Amino acid sequence: MSAPARARGRFITLEGGEGAGKSTQARRLGAFLEQRGLDVVMTREPGGSPGAEILRHVLLSGGAAPFGPEAETMLFAAARRDHLAVTILPALARGAWVICDRFADSTRVYQGHAGKVPLDVIMAIERVTVGENRPDLTLILDLPAKVGLARVASRGETTDRFEKEGIAFHNKLRAGFKAIARAEPERCRLIDAGGEADVVAEAIREAVTAHFGLGARLVAS
């Protein structure tokens, strides 16, 4: 299947380690943009389409781990391909602003930087899966791994396959996301996620406003 043509909406992704506040901030950013009359689609990875949600369960339960890191990476890619085709690209085609909680940078970092799959393999799979459909803006929420893990633990929920990894893995995640932010400054904004949720939300609004050059329209109200 060849990559579909790039659409006219806006594609924003949130990335970062465990408990960085991506879901919290995605919701806040979505509400901010909706209040300004924009058509907003909130979605997430792994998942975001019926087929990809099935793969999410397989991946986060650890069910795919016995197949090895390359196979897991390909399952994340298969889920992403379906998510793009079913949810993201149709929304962008009608002019919506798509806010996605995790995307291809998570594969680069979890399966690549901190995982066991060589980055050239990850990037080859990304080219096939994502093609030209990269995010317009990626907000990388940065905070010490220990702080994020403490936030996750305080929710008292069962941990998934990746939350169970040791602190060395989570420190590598942080370094990997920072490396992406350094390498692609035109697409990525590193956001200090260690403060109160209101402060982080304000930093994100400023980054989005500046990136899309919509200051007057977005800041006025």
Site for ligand T5A, rule CB under 6 A: 16, 18-24, 45-46, 60, 76, 102, 106-107, 110-111, 151-152, 155, 160, 162-163, 196-197, 200
CB-based contacts of 177, cutoff 8 Å, min separation 6: 15, 16, 17, 105, 109, 140, 142
Query: What is the nearest approach in angstroms of ligand T5A to the Cβ of residue 105?
Result: 8
Tell me whether residue 79 or residue 137 sits nearer to ligand T5A (CB atom). 79
Between CA 189 and CA 142 the distance in angstroms is 10
Helix axes 145-154, 167-183, angle to 10 degrees: 120
Tell me whether residue 7 or residue 173 sits nearer to ligand T5A (CB atom). 173
Query: What is the nearest approach in angstroms of ligand T5A to the Cβ of residue 52?
Result: 10
Between CA 5 and CA 38 the distance in angstroms is 22
Tell me whether residue 39 or residue 202 sits nearer to ligand T5A (CB atom). 202
Query: What is the nearest approach in angstroms of ligand T5A to the Cβ of residue 107?
Result: 4
Query: What is the nearest approach in angstroms of ligand T5A to the Cβ of residue 217?
Result: 27
The two three-digit tokens of residue 47, written as one number: 């998942």
Query: What is the nearest approach in angstroms of ligand T5A to the Cβ of residue 220?
Result: 26
Between CA 206 and CA 202 the distance in angstroms is 6
Tell me whether residue 38 or residue 203 sits nearer to ligand T5A (CB atom). 203
> Contact at 8 Å (CB) between 175 and 145?
no
Angle, CA 204 vertex, CA 99 and CA 111 arms, to 5°: 60
Tell me whether residue 39 or residue 61 sits nearer to ligand T5A (CB atom). 61
